[in-house]
Amino acid sequence: MKGNFTTPCYLRDFSEVPQRSVQPEFLPAYHSLLNHVRIPIGYWAFEVSDGEPFIQGQLPYLEKALGWAASYGLKVIVDLHGAPGSQNGFDNSGQKKDYPEWHTQQSYIDRTNNIMKTIASMYRDRADVVATIAPLNEPAGYRGSDVLSVTKQYWLDSYGNVRYPYGSSRQSNNLVLVHDAFQPLSYWNNFGSNLDGVAMDTHIYQMFSDEENARSNDEHISVACDKASSLSSFHLWTIVGEWTPAATDCAKYLNGRGVGSRYDGSYPGSSRVGSCSSRTGSGSTFSSSYKTFLRKYWEAQVITYEKGDGWIQWTWKAENADEWTYQAGLTYGWIPQDPTNHQYPNICG
């Protein structure tokens, strides 16, 4: 249920930045008036079973990042981004698969619960920095009721593990951020209504279908603005935990390594909309009209998502896709230094 969680989440994601170069990135985030950093981490940072092809050693770097965040007064969301067996089959879960297996084996679920207990015990007394723990990123609820039933139970188990990590009735102060599993918010009506310290994470993108890629700039903006009602009326704190000012799937490898784009028709079975050459890459090559659209679309989303309880843009720095990159947006002008400084305050009417 909603309560006294007053920190607005002018947030951005901090994934995919080489650890050796992370520390300098916290300073521009601080100067950009952002207040949270989302740090994804895979289950293999905590334990690896025989036959699993993962290298460990991530936790010392996570600790360094927490120290740097604390030095700049930034809060951190620790996000479990990959689970044993994969919760969605996406490459960003650590295992690209045709079908996710996390929900199919109790041993996978048990391991994930144990990892969540470990994370909770690490940060139960550090909520001044690790303000939020996200138990699992993007479970594939669209796969059916078997995934959703496991996910619901896992959210409840994670709530107990994170909020009650002391083995008693004493609660931690870490917020528990659960994902909507790609279901409309209405699916989760009344979920967690009797719980303190829980929030809903929803991810909003408009480029993973032919229909979305074919939308005009104005249509993209309109669709974003239309999210305001559902975000503002949901019974839990609601954070748009991933979104982007990018409006196409042109970014290299966005759809997977070696997989093309729907926008330019190189994705198998897609219908070409136009060329990707002017839609992705370095912001220095973007036309003034494209940068104006990015600014309008960015503002429309920020204004809308603040009808909920905050937002986290994916991502701070992409390798070669500045339309996704918060840092590049600051450099080239489609993102303001102060995220409350809007050139189009009435863009959603």
Annotate 112-175 with DSSP letters as a single string. Answer: HHHHHHHHHHHHTT-TTTEEEEES-S---GGG-HHHHHHHHHHHHHHHHHHH-TTSSSPPP-PE
Q: Which of 47, 63, 212, 242 is catalytic?
A: 242
Please give the mean pLDDT across all residues of the chain: 92
pLDDT band at 22 (very low <50, low <70, confident <90, very high): low
172-207 pLDDT per residue, tens:
999 999 999 999 999 999 999 999 999 999 999 999
Beta bridge partners of residue 40, listed in sequence order? 79
CA distance 151 to 136: 9
The size of the chain, in residues, is 349
Is 242 part of the annotated catalytic residue set?
A: yes
116-142 pLDDT per residue, tens:
999 999 999 999 999 999 999 999 999
CA distance 325 to 51: 36
- SS3 of 308, please? coil
**Distances in Å between the alpha carbon of 36 and those of 7, 71, 312?**
10, 13, 8
pLDDT band at 19 (very low <50, low <70, confident <90, very high): very low
pLDDT higher than 60, residue 4: no
pLDDT band at 24 (very low <50, low <70, confident <90, very high): low
pLDDT higher than 90, residue 288: yes
Contact (CB, 8 A) for 333 and 343: no
Handedness of CA 249, 256, 141, 49 (dihedral sign): negative
DSSP label at residue 268 = T
pLDDT of residue 23: 66
pLDDT higher than 60, residue 13: no
Ramachandran region of residue 171, left (φ > 0), alpha (ψ -120 to 50) or beta? beta
Mean pLDDT across 13-20: 39
Q: End-to-end CA distance of the chain: give it in Å, rounded.
A: 30
Q: Which of 16, 25, 52, 138 is catalytic?
A: 138
**Distances in Å between the alpha carbon of 318 and those of 21, 72, 99, 257, 329?**
14, 22, 27, 15, 11
Is 101 part of the annotated catalytic residue set?
A: no
pLDDT band at 30 (very low <50, low <70, confident <90, very high): confident
